[in-house]
């Protein structure tokens, strides 16, 4: 017996609410949205990038300051910032030769804070 057949038999003993199933099916997320969300969570799964998000939640800073705070090279921080920037998690503005980074918007901070709240709530 295949897994799918076994699963169907198990589900037959359970009554599903067809209206709920139809509503969920109608509102399933688009594949592009799921991939974009997955990429954001992948980016946030890296400890260094999470540290950068935390630092930028406190203040807008240049690469030099972030590198100093994390005791890492500027090129390593720049690489991580590029990933975060490409996903629109951080943004930058030029001030002469200086580039200042900040969180892109409040959504990024909320993602971080909710994840941290979840960890601390355990």
Task: Grade residue 13 by pLDDT with cuts at 50, 70 and 90.
Answer: low
Return all residues near 51 (Cβ < 8 A) that are at least 6 apart: 70
> What local confidence, expressed as pLDDT, does residue 100 receive?
98
Is residue 85 situated within a structural domain? yes
How far apart (Å, rounded) are the C-alpha atoms in residues 28 and 1?
30
With contact defined as beta carbons under 8 Å apart, do 62 and 69 qualify? no
Q: Is residue 72 part of a domain?
A: yes
Q: What value does the mean pLDDT take over residues 40-68?
A: 97
Q: How far apart are CA 97 and CA 94, in angstroms?
A: 7
Residue 87, domain CATH: 1.10.10.10
Task: Please report the pLDDT score of residue 122 as a whole number.
Answer: 78
Whole-structure pTM over 0.75, yes or no? yes
Predicted confidence at residue 17, as pLDDT, reads 84
- Report the alpha-carbon distance of residue 112 to residue 9 in Å, rounded: 42
DSSP 8-state code for residue 104: S
Domain extent at residue 106: 30-121
Residue 64's SS3 state is helix
Query: What is the structure's pLDDT at 111?
Result: 95
Residue 50 has a pLDDT of: 97
Domain contains 10? no
Residue 104 lies in a domain: yes
Beta-strand relationship, 61-62 and 90-95: unpaired
Residue 81's pLDDT band, with cuts at 50, 70 and 90, is very high
Instruction: Identify the DSSP state of 46.
Output: S
Q: Does some domain include residue 81?
A: yes
pLDDT in tens, 39-52: 999 999 999 999 99
Return the SS3 of 108: helix
**Does residue 16 lie in a domain region?**
no
Residue 3 located in a structural domain: no
17 vs 82, more confident:
82
> Residues 51-67: what's their mean pLDDT?
98
């Amino acid at each position: 017996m295949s897994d799918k057949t076994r699963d169907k038999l198990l589900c037959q003993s359970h009554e599903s609410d067809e209206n709920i199933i139809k509503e969920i099916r109608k509102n399933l997320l688009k594949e592009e949205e799921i991939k974009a969300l997955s990429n954001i969570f992948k980016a946030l799964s890296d400890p260094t990038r999470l540290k950068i998000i935390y630092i930028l939640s406190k203040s807008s800073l240049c690469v030099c300051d972030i590198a100093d705070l994390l005791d890492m090279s500027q090129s390593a921080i720049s690489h991580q910032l590029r990933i975060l920037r490409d996903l629109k998690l951080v943004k930058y503005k030029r001030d002469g030769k200086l580039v200042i980074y900040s969180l892109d918007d409040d959504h990024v901070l909320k993602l971080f804070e909710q994840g941290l709240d979840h960890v601390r709530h355990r």
